[in-house]
Amino acid sequence: MTTAPGVGGKRVFFHVGAPKTGTTYLQNVLFQNRELLAANGVLYPYTDQGQSFRSMQDFRGAGWAGGRAAEFKGEWETVARRAREWDGPTVIVSNELLGGSQPDRIARGLATVQPAEVHVVFTARDLARQLVSDWQEQIKHKHTLTLEQFVDDLIEFGLDAPKPFGELFWGMHDATYVLNRWVTVVPAERIHVVTVPQSGAPRDTLWRRFCAVTGLEPELYDSDTERANTSMGVAETELVRRMNLDVQRMPHQHYDPLVRKLLAEDILGGQSPRLMLPTGRLDWVDARSQQLIAELASSGYQIEGDLAELRPRPEDHAAYISPSELDDADLAPAAIRAATGLLRHSARQRRRIAELQAAVSGERGRAPGVGTRAAVSGERGRAPGVGTRAAVSGERGRAPGVGTRARSLLGRARRRAGRLVHVQRSP
């Protein structure tokens, strides 16, 4: 367990990755326990779960989905200010994409939380599982290359694999490469590598290891959360990949909520066999994993868990099914689930629109009386003009303010329903 800082000191832990290593699970546990953590002197500095992402983008000075970095300006400073002003002994900052920061951004960002003793935490999982998980993540972001091509390019070209995959995979998942940038600012003895256990371990193992690094007592906090980022199986992922071929022109603001979130995560949580490393690639991945283990063992970093867990298990990849070789009949069950789920979502949206339409119609019918009562109240001595404005609003056919909000909600529901229609029709 990490020792506590000196008297009056404060430690700030930066959990910087890697993606697909239980980071969302850890973030959910921290967020749902943030009040109890604060009572125990630990700050998890986000007021909403999306702030972790927004502040990370600002920390890195990066845009998202073709947008400008300026869209996130000020988000990191909001988080950093909370860390600076916190009078407890511990702050935990967490986002799995922080690992991709460049050295100049790391130095600039860490300076904003001073004075503090900064630690870096990197959660690592075996590369075989990471490769197939990251391919699925790329498919959820509208890419179309096959699993075999994705893995082969990363093996053959490394960081120089076709953009954006080389830098997005090796630049985020290779512990040595990522931490070589952070160790230029943070001493090696304050960098912690937490290994992700192989499947079959108790679900809270990762949480307990994370607590051992950050000095938390795991039993004090509720670590049960809804399963985060439910993975799709072979057929579901291939279905989305083939759909992507036909929706390349769909704007990101439509694709992300409807395909990545609703379809891939909420509807198509895997029921078919899980993804595995393509046949013939395991020997290379195992050799690279052994090299990585040796590099970490000699790095001077603090290891929590067992580095041997970073070697892939052959039995986990012995019954490979190639997604690209599935035919239409193989994809049919997943396609039916997708269509059914989207129809149910559309029905919910239409019901909501009908409810809002009824609310707007009802407010229009009641509005004159409301305005009249408000006008009378004003004549009896309330602030001049208040009743008059209400009466005028009523004469125009709606209760002041209420109808405006209902129409706003109605417009929002219509736009959401429109996005669903778009995903079903978009070329």
Please say whether the beta carbons of 285 and 131 come within 8 A. yes
C-alpha Rg value of the chain to the nearest Å: 26
398 in the same domain as 295: no
193 in the same domain as 46: yes
For residue 54, give every residue at least 6 positions away whose Cβ sits within 8 Å of its Cβ, in sequence order, or none: 72, 75
Domain assignment of residue 5, yes or no: no
Domain assignment of residue 264, yes or no: no
Domain assignment of residue 249, yes or no: no
316 in the same domain as 219: yes
Residue with tokens 């099914």: 321
- Structural domain for 404, as ranges: 353-418
Residue 234 identity: V
Nearest one of 386, 178, 410 to 292, comparing CA atoms: 178
Q: How many domains does the chain have?
A: 2
Domain assignment of residue 342, yes or no: no
Nearest one of 265, 272, 203 to 235, comparing CA atoms: 272
Helix (H, G, I), strand (E, B) or coil at 406: helix
* CA 117-119-120 angle, 5° bins: 155
Domain assignment of residue 45, yes or no: yes
C-alpha–C-alpha distance, residues 91 and 117, integer Å: 10
283 in the same domain as 406: no
Helix (H, G, I), strand (E, B) or coil at 416: helix
155 in the same domain as 83: yes
141 in the same domain as 42: yes
C-alpha–C-alpha distance, residues 210 and 28, integer Å: 13
C-alpha–C-alpha distance, residues 300 and 306, integer Å: 15
Domain assignment of residue 110, yes or no: yes
pTM beyond 0.85: no
Residue 264 identity: A
CA 300 to chain centre: 30
Distance between the two ends of the chain, CA-based, in angstroms? 54
Residue by residue, pLDDT tens for the chain (427 residues) are 333 444 358 999 999 999 999 999 999 999 999 999 999 999 999 999 999 999 999 999 988 877 888 999 999 999 999 999 999 999 999 999 999 999 999 999 999 999 999 999 999 999 999 999 999 999 999 999 999 999 999 999 999 999 999 999 999 999 999 999 999 999 999 999 999 999 899 989 999 999 999 999 999 999 998 766 678 999 999 999 999 999 999 999 999 999 999 999 999 987 789 999 999 999 999 999 999 999 999 999 999 999 999 999 999 999 999 999 999 999 999 999 999 999 999 999 999 999 999 999 887 766 554 444 444 344 444 444 444 333 333 433 444 444 555 556 556 655 554 544 443 333 3
The last residue of a domain, from among 271, 301, 320: 320
The last residue of a domain, from among 299, 320, 341: 320
400 in the same domain as 283: no
121 in the same domain as 198: yes
DSSP sequence for 225-288: -PPPSPPP-HHHHHHHHHHHTT-TTS-HHHHIIIIIIIIIIII----SPPP-PPTT-HHHHHHH
CATH at residue 134:
3.40.50.300
